Amino acid sequence: LETVRELQKEIARERAAGAVILSTCQEDSGYFLPGNVREVKEFIKTLENRGRNTLRALESARKLLRWEDTGNI
């Protein structure tokens, strides 16, 4: 793979096919296969937290659009 984007697309394809490929943004960031249950649990926790933050951002953006629909922006 020649670019980071190509790697990301390949990881997404593999995950869609059922592969468990973890990732981290910490010190030694990157993609990796799980070495133990603890790594999988940490990955799940990270994604859950990220998901909650994403949903909050999505809700605030939707709220702004609803407010804009009333002509208040």
Digit-coded pLDDT (tens) for 10-55: 999 999 999 999 999 888 889 999 999 999 999 999 999 999 999 9
CB 31 within 8 A of CB 11: yes
Confidence class of residue 73 from pLDDT cuts 50, 70 and 90?
A: low
69, pLDDT greater than 70 = yes
Q: Give the span between the Cα atoms of 41 and 33, in whole angstroms.
A: 13
Q: Hey, which residues does 30 pair with through a beta bridge?
A: 24
pTM, two decimal places: 0.77
User: What type of residue sits at position 61?
Assistant: A
CB 2 within 8 A of CB 8: no
Q: What is the pLDDT of residue 34?
A: 97
DSSP 66: H
Q: What is the pLDDT of residue 68?
A: 79
